[in-house]
A and B are shown apart, each in its own frame.
Chain A
Amino acid sequence: MPNNDNELLLDIKDLTIHYITEDGTVCAVNNLNLSIKRGETVGLVGETGAGKTTTALGIMQLVPNPPGKIIGGEINFAGENLAAKNEAAMRTIRGKKISMIFQDPMTSLNPVIPVRDQIAEVILLHENVTAAEGLAKAEEMLELVGIRSERAKDYPHQFSGGMRQRVVIAIALACNPELLIADEPTTALDVTIQAQVLELMKRLKSEFNTSMIMITHDLGIVADICDKVAIMYAGSVVEMADKYDLFRNPKHPYTIGLFGSIPDIEKDEEMLKPIKGYMADPANLPAGCPFSPRCELATAECHTKKPENIDLGNNHFVKCLQYANQGGE
């Protein structure tokens, strides 16, 4: 590893994003803290409505406004605060320095443009090349993701789901970005195809030395591909640690609950241990810890006091009052 090993590429501080609607304010992201070093892959894990995608859109400054609004916080990327940048400046960053892979390859590609031209579009926008060079680079990218260049002029509907996601990956990596945000990139795919795509992403990530945020609800994918894990609940990161630390020694009751909910193919268990109740409603969050209504260990204090981010040492952070006296050093 190079000597800039410890340099933070992305450092999000107290990010808060709300959707302001007629029916009330939806607090999608609340005081979120997240940091990523160069070359690192962070898994952002959470259930529907946890705010994972809104966080990703926030980093890209793509939160639809209205109704969405970044209320506060900093998004420091390579030393610059993206939250303070204007649209023209963001355009030079999106697709070039930060790019994104969306969940559904069926809808994220343009159905009436051949795949080669869709890849060339981003290259022509950001690199100083001729049209012919852009198209040649696009074909190179297709080969790189395992699609023969004979198929370069085909349209998205002529490809299967797995192949389409390869095209999306080719677009995302075309300008060699520093940060790649993958939003559930394999959720729409079958497992054997998912395995192909994950393998491809791992290979390209190390070839390009790209940092990555992997948004997923699947802890299996995290174990496979990530270095660090951030568990999200109701708009904030409730636990963040190195992958090995988090899987072997989860601290937050929600994280522990998630592990208990997954049927384990390695073991025979009689009953699963689900988390009781339902996901918190982001339009009507509890006053105290957002997880307190579902938490087995919740005390009276948990229902009234919001937990701070506690440093348990060894880069393991948790937002839970039961560790309140263990922090520091």
Chain B
Amino acid sequence: MPDVLMEVRNLKKYFKTKRGPLHAVDGINFSINKGETLGLVGESGCGKSTTGRVVLRLIDATDGEVIFDGENILDYNKTKVRTFRENAQIIFQDPFASLNPRMSVFEIIAEPLIINKKAQSRQDLRKQVLKLMDTVGLVARLENAYPHELDGGRRQRIGIARSLALKPSFIVQDEPVSALDVSIQAQILNLMEELQKEMKLTYLFISHDLGVIKHVSTNIAIMYLGKIVEMSDYSSIFKSPLHPYTKALLSAIPIPSVDIKRERIILEGDVPSPISPPPGCRFYSRCFERMDICKDTDPELIEYAPNRQVACHLIKPQSNV
């Protein structure tokens, strides 16, 4: 059995709003093995970024457990959270907003090393920063450049170097390539794949782009309105999607080929508000296969087959496979 690095149990995050609690994350379970990537996919507002932040304790959970290396990080006090963060880092979506415009490339990458006292001397600090820059493919002459002088791809490389500075074992990637052009996106995706192999990194990779998710992930979880509706290894979900939402999502992706034609499922309406969601299945209002039971009873995430889970009343577990 592979080693589990992170296990999330019944995780909930509600935000207080004037109109009632907003159920951003509503009881999700997943686990990530060491050295693997869990891809978390969903549309805007489904709770995927909130999940990424809660598992790093960047925001506090409402309920549930996040077991990291055998300990529940939600029980950690402030000092323990700080040591935990050396081990768990994040790369943000927008390389234009996530870097301080007044700091040079050197200062940005050096900051975590200085704060956590990881350098013996100035020379050692410089050596470590230049090594990190080299690792992510930034040439040394850029050390004194400022973020505004660089394009999106290079800025995202700075964000990656910064996240690697403390030699973490776990990185949350929150839409790391969404702001980049495809030719640059491919460079960054390849870089992260190489880094993962070299440094045995574990990723929680958040994206709305199923093509990217399929490319990087070991396992994939599909989220809809605060819930995981389907989870499996990366290929089964694409070969035989079970949940109606997964089917619709897959069929909606425009495929860059003129020789593949897919039946397109067009969903009605928009994602409903996560404030006071209805008691039944979250997907009920847009589902093209809904039944009476779906309206009032929320389907559980069940084990359909080994390493395949789905939350839908239509799907019954396969017996004795």
Contacts and interface: CB of A to CB of B under 8 A. Distances in A.
Contacts of B238: 265
A54 B58 CA distance: 41
Nearest to A198: B254
B270 A193 contact: yes
The B interface is mostly helix, strand or loop, or mixed, namely helix
Interface in A184-226: 190-196, 198-199, 217-224
A261 interface: yes
Interface string B179-196: 001111111011001000
Which among A217, A264, A273 has the highest number of chain B CB atoms within 10 Å? A264
Please classify the interface of chain A as helix (H, G, I), strand (E, B), loop, or mixed, using the class held by over half of its residues.
helix
Interface stretch (A28-36, A82-90, A103-111, A242-250): A242-250
B215 interface: yes
B9 interface: no
Residue from B152, B252, B266 having most chain A Cβ neighbours under 10 A: B252
A265 B255 contact: yes
B95 to A, nearest CB: 13
B198 interface: no
Nearest to B235: A268
A247 B185 contact: no
Interface stretch (B11-19, B167-175, B206-214, B289-297): B206-214
A258 interface: yes
B62 interface: no
A29 B182 CA distance: 21
B42 to A, nearest CB: 9
B258 A243 contact: yes
B256 A191 contact: no
Interface in A72-120: none
Interface in B258-277: 258-260, 264, 266-267, 270-271
A247 B258 contact: yes
B159 to A, nearest CB: 16
A5 interface: no
Contacts of A223: 254-258
Contacts of A219: 256
Contacts of A191: 43, 208, 210, 249, 252-253
B48 interface: no
B186 A272 contact: yes
A192 B43 contact: yes
Contact of B211 (A196, A248, A262, A278): A262
In the complex, which of the residues A248, A265, A276 has the most CB atoms of chain B within 10 Å of its own CB atom? Answer: A265
Nearest to B153: A278
A235 B250 CA distance: 34
Given A274-B187, A274-B190, A47 B181 contact: yes
A165 to B, nearest CB: 12
A25 interface: no
A272 B257 contact: no
A154 to B, nearest CB: 14
A190 B245 CA distance: 13
A26 B238 CA distance: 44
A261 B185 contact: yes
Could you say which of A220, A258, A261 has the most chain B C-beta atoms within 10 Å of its C-beta?
A: A261
A59 B135 CA distance: 45
Contacts of A48: 152, 181
B257 to A, nearest CB: 6
Contact of B151 (A163, A218, A261, A279): A279
Contact of A220 (B153, B249, B255): B255
A323 to B, nearest CB: 22
Given A47-B184, A191-B208, A272-B215, 10 more contacts: A190-B44, A192-B267, A193-B43, A199-B264, A223-B256, A261-B182, A263-B215, A272-B186, A274-B186, A278-B154
19 contacts: A47-B184, A190-B44, A191-B43, A192-B267, A195-B251, A199-B264, A217-B181, A217-B182, A218-B256, A220-B255, A221-B254, A258-B182, A260-B186, A261-B185, A263-B215, A265-B255, A266-B257, A268-B235, A269-B215
The 5 closest A-B pairs by CB, nearest first: A220-B254, A274-B186, A263-B215, A219-B256, A261-B186
